[in-house]
A and B are shown apart, each in its own frame.
Chain A
Amino acid sequence: MNCQTCQLKELVVVPTEIQDVLRCILHTIIFHRALGLVRPQDVECEHFEITYVHCGDHEIEKKIDEKIDQFVGWVEKHPNRKGQVCLSFYEVKNKHATWFGNKIERLYWEQWYINLHVLNPKSHGKSHYTKAPVSTGENASEESSSRHAALESSLHEVLFQIIRFANEKKTTFQLYKTLRLYHFHMRSQLQVHQTPLLVGMLMCLRGCCRLDILPCSVDYKIMQAINYFSEPGLYSVVNEAEEKGHFVH
């Protein structure tokens, strides 16, 4: 099965809006892909007139916030950069025992790329990308408000895009829901001089909702995945639902 990839529309944000934007987008995606019984919770954006939906899982919310905070920290260190957050859903297929350990095969079936163009409003002089002098005073506030309005409209479009993609790709998700386990991880990339930098990964085992904060090393997370996979009690929520007779009411 090919991995379905969705490149979301690029959003121009300032650092103070990153958290709001990322939460909105990530939770909307996860709400579409969360397995098991979901008690949706409406959440209002802090900076926008937008309501999005949480899946109601506090651990997921916590982990997402942690990764967003990491991303924000990196953005502060590298201002005026384009960044990308990748939310991937994959399946841990087989464990191949090798001489050096167990090799885990990941089968990505869906990836969402959130593209952010982070502006630093405090920068003076010419902007790195716009090549235009940064205005001050009343013009700055007008520009800021217009930029904010444009961002809100773009964010609306992104959310529509997510709904459309998630709904159209039901087949893919439906297929992978039959698998025993599926994972998703979030990878943030900061393109510094067009060189992607892997800053971290977040992995989720949707059976037991076990999340883990990933260090920068991918290999370390693979080892973690092995540990998760070997733990007893991990099972497909779908299968569990079937066993419980969800179809019989």
Chain B
Amino acid sequence: MATPSESDRTEQIITLFLHKALHAVLASRIPHLHLSAPRPASASARDRWFHLALGDLPAQIGHHGAVMDPLVVDILLTPRGDTDDPTGSPEAVVERWTAQCVPPSPWSAAAPHHPHDGSWHRKTYKKSIILLRSLYALLRLLPAHRIFRLLCSSSQPYNYDLSYRISSFVAPFSRAEEAELKQYSFAPVETLFGQLVVSVQHRPSLANFNLEVSSIPPMIITDYVGSPAADPMRPFPSSLPERVSRPIMHQYPPTGIRTSAAPSFDRPHSWNSTPLAHHPLSSASGAPVSEIGFLLPDHYGHLVPNQRPMGERKGSSGYNELKLSPPLSTSASPSPPTRGGDSPQSRFHLETAPVSIPTGKSQHRSPNLSDPFKSLLPPPSPRSTRADPYCQESPLRSRSFRKSEGSNLGDVCSNVHIYAAHKGHKDGRDDSGRFSALSSGGSPRYGFSRSSSRLSIQDDLDDGDFSYPFAVDDVDTSDSQARSFDGKEAPEDTLSHKSPEYGSSHKSQEAEVGILVHMLKTAAPLRQGQGSLLSSESNAEVSMSSSVMSRKTCDALEELQSYKELKNLLLSKSKSGSLDSVKQRRE
């Protein structure tokens, strides 16, 4: 008769053997359990049982039945994909591992001989060691192990996945199923309570399962900005499977478009004002399309209207607000935006881009001569219609009001800026005249208009003045004096609007740069004069924009310093001249 300790030990051995067997099976069949269970360098006390260190299984996985309850582990090959597809194959049991302690039949004549020396559990334990070794080795020889290795090693999902089912009592296989299976049973281990039996029913071949890389499309990055080579005007697909398109939170916080299901709205294409119009997740109110243009990377633009309230619709309001914000580009990559077909962009283009160097004074007369102070005033409101005339004007004509403006000082300063902007240019001509025009009275207006809009050559090209960024400019650059010293606004005004003038990248920035370079090359030399003011320099705005774009701040500052000195000199001379006149009067 076995001692209580013998029974306890045997029960403990059987329980832990079943747990270990379960561990060996799952670790060799279930990829996520295999990968997520790192084997520690030193085996724990529990892991050292049966002299087979396998690591630890998750605590919730184990044999939780009674010691005499069988352990049945089904290894299932589950098709991955649309579970709602009725034509898909159901999951299939590829292996069924059964481990249990079978009590001796009461009617068996040959009862096992149990020694009373307390060594029974030791023998059970030692034999269990070998049984586990055999189980472990056999797991690697069965066909399912090949699939397990494939799933573990491949980074791509397959159309099938291995899963498991643990139970104590399962329905036996049907005859048809059993006919497809092969069975292997290990030699039983005698225990105090009966025979510890481990067996497996497995499919001899899994060739019927066409294991291949899953045809389910990978997860779509819905906020992908795209590349220059991509079609920026391509609308979002209207039938994205929900399972596939998993919204991804990108780095830019959603700044105005809030849909519960689509944080991917936050990074639309800058060149597509309605990128998500066709998106199935767009709400009934629709995505505020114009707001998409406002969702900026921080390094783009200085005014990021990301406080835009939600639900604000696209349209002229959005466009008008855009006027106050710098050139917007939602693209983090230097992808050249193509033309947007929507009006806000076109408006920007019309407003902003004096891309040609005016040929002469008379060519670029603005109809706004009657309002010489317009250039000094910023657009009163985002909804101002002041931009509209500009939109209609040719950029060449927008500078005509400059004749009435300017002072020596302002002109000198403007010359400074313009010259500095042009410093890097290799053209040997004196561009002072041209640059001064940029800082003329017209420039603030232009600057403001450009600040409220975006520097873009798109509409200029559309207007027919320039069909190509590098097209030949027809501006006459001979009369540069007429274009210089045309502004009264302080350099700061010019500078303050410098940045807004840099275009929104409605069209390619490269095109803009090309046009400006061309302008600089063909521009008339800037003439340094002390009193000659050219009231109207139609190319002043254009060259200012180009000079401002091209010059560097350090160069500008250097030139500013030099012209300040010149200014001081002139002032001193004028003062001395005035003093002389006073003295003469006194005399």
**A contacts, CB < 8 Å to B:** 28, 31-32, 35-40, 42, 44, 49-53, 156, 159-160, 162-163, 166-168, 170-171, 173-174, 177, 238, 241-242, 246-247, 249
Contact = CB atoms under 8 A, between A and B. Distances in A.
B57 to A, nearest CB: 15
Contacts, number: 86
B133 A37 contact: no
16 contacts: A31-B136, A35-B51, A37-B48, A37-B51, A38-B51, A38-B52, A40-B52, A53-B136, A53-B137, A156-B141, A166-B134, A167-B187, A170-B131, A174-B123, A249-B45, A249-B49
Interface of B: 9, 12, 16, 39, 43, 45-46, 48-49, 51-54, 121-123, 125-127, 130-131, 133-134, 136-138, 140-141, 145-146, 149, 186-187, 189
A32 to B, nearest CB: 5
Contacts of B134: 32, 163, 166-167
B130 A159 contact: no
Given A36-B51, A39-B43, A166 B130 contact: yes
Given A36-B51, A170-B127, A49 B141 contact: no
Given A51-B149, A156-B141, A247-B9, 12 more contacts: A28-B137, A31-B136, A40-B53, A40-B54, A163-B134, A163-B141, A170-B126, A170-B127, A170-B187, A171-B127, A174-B126, A249-B45
Contacts of A52: 137, 140
Nearest to B149: A51
A8 B16 CA distance: 33
A247 B122 contact: yes
Nearest to B141: A159
Contacts of B187: 167-168, 170
A38 B146 contact: no
B122 A51 contact: no
A249 B39 contact: no
A169 B156 CA distance: 43
Contacts of A163: 134, 137-138, 141
Contacts of B136: 31, 40, 53
A237 B16 CA distance: 21
A194 to B, nearest CB: 34
Contact of B126 (A36, A40, A238): A238
Given A28-B137, A166-B133, A174 B127 contact: yes
B186 A167 contact: yes
Nearest to B55: A39
A249 to B, nearest CB: 5
A28 B140 CA distance: 11
Contacts of B53: 37-40
Contact of A51 (B46, B49, B140, B186): B140
B131 A167 contact: yes
A241 B16 CA distance: 17
A51 B145 contact: yes
A128 B406 CA distance: 110
A162 B43 CA distance: 28
A239 B287 CA distance: 76
Contacts of B122: 242, 247
Nearest to A162: B137
Contacts of B125: 247
Contacts of B9: 247
A42 B140 contact: yes
A62 to B, nearest CB: 21
Nearest to B121: A247
A156 B138 CA distance: 10
Contacts of A160: 138, 141
A162 B136 CA distance: 13
Nearest to A174: B126
A115 to B, nearest CB: 20
Nearest to B189: A170
A50 B327 CA distance: 63
A52 B139 CA distance: 10
A246 B133 contact: no
A159 B137 contact: yes
Contacts of A36: 51
A52 B137 CA distance: 7
A173 B130 CA distance: 9
A246 B53 CA distance: 13
Contact of A37 (B43, B138, B141): B43
Nearest to B53: A39
A166 B122 CA distance: 19
A153 B126 CA distance: 32
Q: Which 8 A-B pairs have the closest CB atoms?
A: A51-B140, A167-B134, A39-B53, A170-B130, A170-B127, A174-B126, A168-B187, A163-B134
Nearest to A35: B51
Given A170-B130, A170-B189, A173-B130, A246 B141 contact: no
A50 B52 contact: no
A168 B134 CA distance: 10
Contacts of A156: 141
Contacts of B48: 37, 246
Nearest to A167: B134
B133 A31 contact: yes
Contacts of A173: 130
A246 B130 CA distance: 16
Contacts of A50: 140-141
Nearest to A27: B137
Contacts of B146: 49
Contacts of A168: 187
A39 B49 CA distance: 12
Contacts of B126: 170, 174, 177, 238
B571 to A, nearest CB: 89
